[in-house]
Amino acid sequence: MSEFNFDEMIDRRSSDSLKWGCDPDVLPMWVADMDFRSPPAVMHALEERIRHGIFGYSVIPDRWYDAYISWWRNRHDFQIDRSWLVFSTGVVPSLSSIVRRLTAVGENVVVQVPVYNIFFNSILNNGRHILENPLIYRDGAYSIDFEDLERKLAHSETTLMILCNPHNPVGKIWSRDELAEIGRLCARHHVTVVSDEIHCDLTLPGRDYIPFASVSELCMNISVTCVAPSKTFNMAGLQSSAVICPDLFLRQRVERGLNTDEDAEPNAFAVDAAVAAYAEGGEWLDALREYLRTSRSITGIFLENRLPAVKPVQGEATYLQWLDCRSLTSDTKKLTAFLKSEAGLWVSAGEAYGSSGAGFLRLNAACPHERLREGLDRLERGVALFQQRRAGV
């Protein structure tokens, strides 16, 4: 029995939550934040900071660097040098800034679809092109089409690849061999890799992810890695993240970009929350990972017994469940709109993550099991109504 209570049903409607900004009869299971409180250590650190009562400008202290270095060494077997770390206000701000700094208008950025939809914004909003390397989905599992990837990387206008490691929304942890091959291909075609590793701590118990930069000298030298405590410890609103960039030349450019884009300065809570989370949040995280493992199995058992038309993809990371609904429809935009209006369930349509996401739903299962079960009941009810409506019953 865990000393942390992930079963507590906490009202978030009163807290200006983006996720919960919906009608009272709608249950939101879409945007990627959790319905759990951050670890007690984070709460205590913030309470201390508030008690001080002065919220002026901050610097990045040594303890911030130490917290990242120890966490990656102890948890992920990766030794980060202090000089490689740069503070940033968020992973998305970093990605957009990196796209602007490391590529020119009109160049191509490769992404592996279906993938976190905001990558598209970071590319398109800056006047760059998206080149999709669709993942292969076969027998319920995703893998990389390396031939297609190399063709996209070899394009003369391709200068950057954004990797999602582990992968949102399919929940895949990329293997050392897969990462090494991505590194080799990118190096061969002079493409820089930005590895978004924001979901790296939320792996199934007993499983770890592999930092892209840790795979080889080559991967280290051609990459910029974006990490944060925000998904792990549910503190996205505190705007605290880091960029890890071993190569000096790349780092200078990235750091300049973050500075000129004004993404490099912490708010009064960003440092203390990150330090407390990484220094003292390990036990809480391990209990959370156990809880989320049960959430995955609750979903799997429910779908198998009550809704076999919807098949969960076997993810190993993230609290996002990628559901194959292709036997129901290829238009999951329509299905999600229907589920929201007729069954009071708000989930994300697969199309948002690229064209190969059509026919899939993304369900955020990071909530108390009681709420997850309510969401699954709504999904069952909504799908039954959807099928009846289509059959003209």
Ligand X SMILES: Cc1ncc(COP(=O)(O)O)c(C=O)c1O
Residues in contact with ligand X by the rule CB under 6 A: 32, 90-92, 116, 164, 168, 196, 198, 228, 230, 236, 241
Please enumerate in sequence order all residues whose Cβ is within 8 A of that of 265, keeping only pairs 6 or more positions apart, or say none.
57, 58, 87, 89
* Least distance to ligand X, CB of residue 168, Å: 4
AA letter at 232 = T
Q: Confirm if 111 and 357 have CB atoms less than 8 A apart.
A: no
Q: Which is nearer to ligand X, 58 or 117 (CB)?
A: 117
Which residue's CB is nearer to ligand X, number 16 or number 139? 16
User: CB 188 → ligand X: shortest distance, Å?
Assistant: 26
Handedness of CA 259, 262, 263, 264 (dihedral sign): positive
Minimum Å gap between C-beta 303 and ligand X is: 23
Pick the closer one to ligand X by CB: 171 or 382.
171
8's tokens: 């507590």
Angle between helices 270-280 and 40-52 (to 10 degrees): 150
Cis peptide before 211 (omega within 30 of 0): no
Measured from the CB of residue 388, what is the shortest distance to ligand X in angstroms?
34
User: Helices marked H in the chain — which ranges?
Assistant: 40-52, 62-76, 91-102, 118-124, 146-154, 176-188, 217-221, 248-260, 270-280, 282-306, 332-343, 369-391
Kindly tell me which of 116 and 212 has the beta carbon lying closer to ligand X.
116
CA distance 219 to 184: 8
Q: How far is the CB of 328 from ligand X (least distance, A)?
A: 25
Structure tokens at 372: 């997850």
Q: Indicate the residue among 116 and 291 with the shorter CB distance to ligand X.
A: 116
Query: How remote is the C-alpha of 389 from its chain's centroid?
Result: 35
Q: Cβ 232 to ligand X, closest distance in Å?
A: 11
Give 32 or 69: the residue with its C-beta nearer to ligand X: 32
Structure tokens at 258: 């973050």
**Min. distance of Cβ 95 from ligand X in angstroms?**
7
CB of 121 to ligand X, least distance (A): 11
CB 48 within 8 A of CB 31: no
**CA-CA distance, 280 to 34, in Å (whole number)?**
19
Cα–Cα distance, 217 to 228 (Å, whole number): 23
Task: Considering the complex, state which of residue 223 and residue 386 has its C-beta at the smaller distance from ligand X.
Answer: 223
For residue 271 the two structure tokens come to 């440092």
Residue 80 vs 228, nearer CB to ligand X: 228
Residue number with CB closer to ligand X (344 or 357): 357
Least distance (Å) from ligand X to the CB of residue 289? Answer: 17
Q: Using alpha carbons only, how large is the chain's radius of gyration in Å?
A: 21
